[in-house]
Amino acid sequence: MKITRLNAFMARDKDRPRVLLRIDTDQGISGWGECYNHGPDRALAPLFDYLATFLTGWDPRRVEYINQYLLQQTRFPPGALGLAAISAIDQCCWEISALALGVPVYQLWGGTVRDRVRVYAGVYTAPDPAAARDHFDALNSAWGLTAFKLSPFRGDLHAQRWGTVVRESAEYFRRLRETVRTDYDIAFDAHAKIFEPKQAIELGNALAPYDPLFFEEPIRPEHVEVWGELNRAIRCPLATGESLYNRYEFLRLLSVRGADIIQPDVCVVGGPSELRKIAVLADAHYVTVAPHNPMGPLATAVNLHFALTQPNFRILEYRLPAGNNYDGSASDGAGGYVIDPYLPVDGHLLPRPDRAGWGVTIDPAVTTRDDYVHWERKVPLKPDGATGWA
């Protein structure tokens, strides 16, 4: 079997851009992968054209060989775009390998260690407790979800005195716990907006008495050693990892005991080949894995196969695909590119043992249109005019 072509497609999921890759072979078997692509999206297609100049003619079933070659061919460590491309190629090669054998990808990784995979939904704001309760209950009624993630910030953290930010966040979580069902798990994502570690500690410990599922990424990831100090000082589970690139960066984080839960992204780190190595390192440090998964339904399928096979998996971030509303009603489906996405049943995603590869079907229309939609992260301005982390 030989690779004949790399095909990049610009798709979208609701209002977000997505870059998909299909690798074709001379035996008529094609595999799909998804990139992390929150800018610059248009740069990925020519990168795939370049990589095709030497991948064409190779056997895609030599997954580890191809993955290592792509990493080594760059000579210097690849950045976000290079790893996003490698991630998609790796996903494609794993699916081709599974399709050639007529089995789900998870069978190539040793089979399942669990029957289903628990997911949580991101709400991404901090609605009033009554509104949050209604939103959670609707997700529970429609999809069985019992885990959710919110922002810890009630207002503009740059425009208020920090003590006010901490007090309002703690009071909000207390009222939220009193309002929603007691069996709901609630996590908080600070989106690395806090610059000072002391402030991150203050906020984490203000949330801790009300039992958060985890406190995610309060500060930037670059200074790994500070994360060890954070984790020793914060009295609730600390999670991070979406902005780390490879097993070596995660090893530094794990070595300083910088997190209780790591959140690598299969579309960022170099694909499932690298993700599985990262998870093994975490397992040796008694740390669980909750993959970062804000991308589309194809990435969700890839993460599901990983989670089914990984003993120290914790919970999976989940975003309802186009065509499905949080209350279970149907939307117009704009931007959907997977015909049969994995949808939660009783708060979990279930394997499809009768489906080979990733177990989903890409809409053929993706290959005939350009669905680019511009999206960029909004950078906040502080009262003095300086920029802050988004």
Distance CA 82, CA 75 (A): 12
Indicate which residue of 158, 292, 305, 348 is catalytic.
292
Burial class for 187, CB neighbours closer than 10 Å (0-12, 13-18, 19+): buried
C-alpha radius of gyration, the chain, whole number: 21
Residue 305 annotated among the catalytic residues of the structure: no
- Beta strands 348-349 and 316-318: pairing type? unpaired
Please identify which residue in the block is written with the tokens 């208020």.
160
Distance CA 306, CA 44 (A): 25
Joined tokens for residue 22: 């299909």
Please identify which residue in the block is written with the tokens 């999809």.
143
Residue type, 116: R
Residue 158 annotated among the catalytic residues of the structure: no
| Bridge partners, 215 (sequence order) | 188, 238
Task: For the beta carbon of residue 111, count every other beta carbon within 10 angstroms.
Answer: 11
Indicate which residue of 191, 285, 348, 374 is catalytic.
191
Measure Cα distances from 240 to 71, 216, 219, 346, 347 in Å. Answer: 24, 6, 9, 27, 23
The residues annotated with a catalytic role in the active site are: 191, 292
